[in-house]
Chains A and B, each alone.
Chain A
Amino acid sequence: GAGVSQTPSNKVTEKGKYVELRCDPISGHTALYWYRQSLGQGPEFLIYFQGTGAADDSGLPNDRFFAVRPEGSVSTLKIQRTERGDSAVYLCASSVTGTGVSPLHFGNGTRLTVT
């Protein structure tokens, strides 16, 4: 079966613009995570969904960031009024249950560049 799919793979936008990043998890995975990663660093947690609801959104840096998962499958990360500091690789991962014994399956990420 297909793995986690993220689109677009690259996104260049101007400061102040709005962007949407899409994540298609593995079918049947109830847990979905968004992370942000800078070059050579570990992924930084943003938000975790269990089904349709955000179980933990404590990692969202400010109210410009928002994520949805309306049908418990595809998720969209939305960033308003982008800033140059938002430039990073945004990773999405899904897992069967969301517990520690259930591995995270990552997509290849969306590289966001804010000019």
Chain B
Amino acid sequence: SYELTQPPSVSVSPGQTARITCSGDALPKQYAYWYQQKPGQAPVLVIYKDSERPSGIPERFSGSSSGTTVTLTISGVQAEDEADYYCQSADSSGTYEVFGGGTKLTVL
């Protein structure tokens, strides 16, 4: 079955830039999405179609794509950005959706 691979954890100091990667063989063919989840809450979409930002999401959140890897970048990280982040995409046929294993962002 298709898998997306994320690093388990990323740590940054406030004001620095955090980069979270997600790798998958079908990413050149399928859009990627990023979700933020804080403890006890439902996930929130922060990036769609690789690099688009939904309304209401701060400009410090951005996404990019290169080959089989997509990256979520959070510029000028704030304490409130501490959360779990998940990438999501589909297999090459578009039939099955999949989430990455999640990355815990810690703001030091």
Q: Please say whether chains A and B are actual partners in one complex.
A: no
Residues on A lying within 8 angstroms of B by beta carbon are none
Residues on B lying within 8 angstroms of A by beta carbon are none
